[in-house]
Structure 1
Amino acid sequence: MQFTLLASSLMALAVSAVSASPVSNGARMILDVWSPTIISPNASTVWTEGQQYNVTWDTSNAPVNISNGASVRLGQDGVLTDTTLASGFDLRQGWVSVTCPSNVVPGDDYSVILFGDSGNQSPQFTIQSSLESILPGL
């Protein structure tokens, strides 16, 4: 009997949690999830520390409602880092200008992650030191 009461209580709790959703004007708000394809940087991209670049993505299938604020973060070796390259822009614009950080170790395992309604990661690309851009092979 106690098991049945516990099971019923847990089931009621689960149902109420599942049916909870954002409400706008007394009706449930429909949220679109969008994961745009990142165009640049790509696998052949080389960034130099301290230089400015555009991160671009395909906006051809952008939803009408984008529910979250946008940001671009740096990833390394498939792992999200603490480095935010840009934030607070409109995802529908399709690009944002960023500055390549100077406090990173040069390598060919970097990516950018575009956050908004859904995170999307670019292919890995190279970041080189500013000295390497002047003296190749350094």
Structure 2
Amino acid sequence: MHFTSLLLLLILPFLSLVFSAPTPAIRDVFSPPVTYPHKGTVWKVGKRYTVTWDMAGAPEHITNNIGMIVLVKDGRMVDLDHPLANNFPINCSHYEITVPKVKAGHDYQILVFGDSGNTGDVFSIEE
């Protein structure tokens, strides 16, 4: 019984600190619209391009503000394990990537993830 009382005396001050801490601000999910590449864009394998997205409608507190860019072909992610870019602040609204070695095609899209994903227009990649 003595040990339990001592344990409570040690834990209670810690618990009062935890429960009196300010509540974090409400955070929102945001899907930034991809602005480049857009319809009619043609990229070449191995070249560098800057992907852009619009942050104009972003909430004050985004649930996950760490970004990731993934290439999509024919509606499917090309390689989620090897994104074109990751671990960048989503509010920067642009990021330079290198086009990976992929087959030429006219059905590619860019997917920008923050706390949610948003796929841009269909564009082409040439070898």
Report the TM-score when normalising by structure 1.
0.70
Alignment of 1:1-138 (within 5 A): 25=21, 27=23, 30-68=26-64, 69-82=66-79, 83-102=82-101, 104-129=102-127
Report the TM-score when normalising by structure 2.
0.76
Please tell me the root mean square deviation across aligned C-alpha atoms, in Å: 1.5
3-state SS, counterpart of residue 34 of structure 1: coil
- 1:61-85: CA deviations, max 9, x gaps? 2222222221000000011121410
- In 2, the alpha carbon distance for the partners of 1:78 and 1:111 equals 8
3-state SS, counterpart of residue 51 of structure 2: strand
The alpha carbon displacement at 1:60 in A equals: 1.1
3-state SS, counterpart of residue 84 of structure 2: strand
Runs of 5+ unmatched residues, structure 1: 1-24, 130-138
| Percent of pairs with identical residues | 38
The alpha carbon displacement at 1:113 in A equals: 0.4
- In 1, the alpha carbon distance for the partners of 2:47 and 2:23 equals 47
3-state SS, counterpart of residue 39 of structure 2: coil
Counting matched residue pairs gives 104
- In 1, the alpha carbon distance for the partners of 2:26 and 2:72 equals 31
CA contact (8 A) 2:25 2:61 kept: no
3-state SS, counterpart of residue 89 of structure 1: strand
Runs of 5+ unmatched residues, structure 2: 1-20
- 1:8-29: CA deviations, max 9, x gaps? xxxxxxxxxxxxxxxxx46465
